[in-house]
Amino acid sequence: MSNVFAAVVCSVLVSVLLKLAPRWRIELLQAIACNYLVAGIATALILRPTLAPLGSSAAAWPALVALGILLPTIFLVLAASVRSTGIVRSDVAQRLSLLLPLLAAFALFGETPAPLKLLGCTLGLVALPGMIWRSEADALVGTGWRWPLGVFFGFGVIDILFKQIARSGLPLGSSLQIVFALALVVATIIVLARRVRFDRRSLAAGIVLGLLNFGNIAFYLRAHRALPDAPSLVFAGMNLGVVALGALTGLWLFRERLSAINFAALSLAAVAVALIALG
């Protein structure tokens, strides 16, 4: 389970870096573009994917292109969510996004819904509005609740697209390599269009961000390889670990405020993830 713990730490540290970006005067667009360059290089060096399957996987290209556009976009949404509503809400919204690919599996891919998974989906949908609920005093600062909803739907769509790619038979390493390359192109175009000035601080943040992103994926894959007969354990450990560590980090390190409704929804979300894993 050490690999699962490492993947959880990498995932939460991404949120921490996004939270600290304004304080450290980090230009996020520049850091995000650099992040995909670093993640792509790490994928090539460590996973050593072959690009030959791309020529015979025509059906996967629409999903690959969509991911290349969506990944840098959702990164900006996640950053806005972390800044406006905190790490706790943002990480839970990201983990609850697994409800969308599950519902898609039932509706689009013909998967038979297991009772526990259906119960988990129901509890997760109930928990979602409770997680983004804010008191009247907090609500006066704006419409920040829209950002965690964007995280929920954005990461859910990303999961669905990756499932479509997996169904096409394209190896994970090959798909990651091309997706990171496309995301780098899209992020670079945005940076150039906005005439963002390059600086060392943001480039350094991008390198750290890229290593954390790749580390999250690599450790998660290693966990599945180390526990091939217990995929639900890895899945539950990853998602529940991010929810728990993200909550502790947000509450203790950044003094984020949660209402009684938010705490109840956080507990309900943890139960939902556990039921989905057991199902």
155: how many CB neighbours lie within 10 A of its CB? 22
Q: Measured over all CA atoms, what is the biggest interatomic distance in the chain, rounded to whole angstroms?
A: 56
Say what the pLDDT of residue 57 is: 62
Task: Walk along the chain (279 residues) in steps of 10 and give the mean pLDDT of each run.
Answer: 89 93 89 94 90 71 92 91 88 85 73 78 83 56 73 89 82 88 92 82 94 91 78 78 89 84 85 79
Q: pLDDT at position 126, please?
A: 85
Determine the pLDDT at residue 160: 85
Q: Which residues contact 122 (CB under 8 A, 6 or more apart)?
A: none
Confidence at residue 272, expressed as pLDDT on a 0 to 100 scale: 84
Cβ-Cβ contacts under 8 Å for 161 (sequence gap 6 or more): 63, 66, 67, 70
For residues 129-150, b (16+ Cβ closer than 10 Å) or e, as one string? ebbbbbeeeeeeeeebbebbbb
User: What single letter denotes the amino acid at residue 121?
Assistant: C
Q: What token pair was written down for 16?
A: 């921490």
Domain ranges of the chain: 2-278
Q: How far is Cα 92 from Cα 11, in angstroms, rounded to an integer?
A: 12
Read off the amino acid at residue 81: S
| Residue 226 amino acid letter | A
For residues 172 and 213, the answer to whether their CB atoms sit within 8 Å is no
Q: Which pTM was predicted? A: 0.87
CA angle in degrees (0–180, nearest 5) for 272-276-279: 135
pLDDT score at 89 = 86
Please, what is the end-to-end C-alpha distance for the chain in angstroms?
20
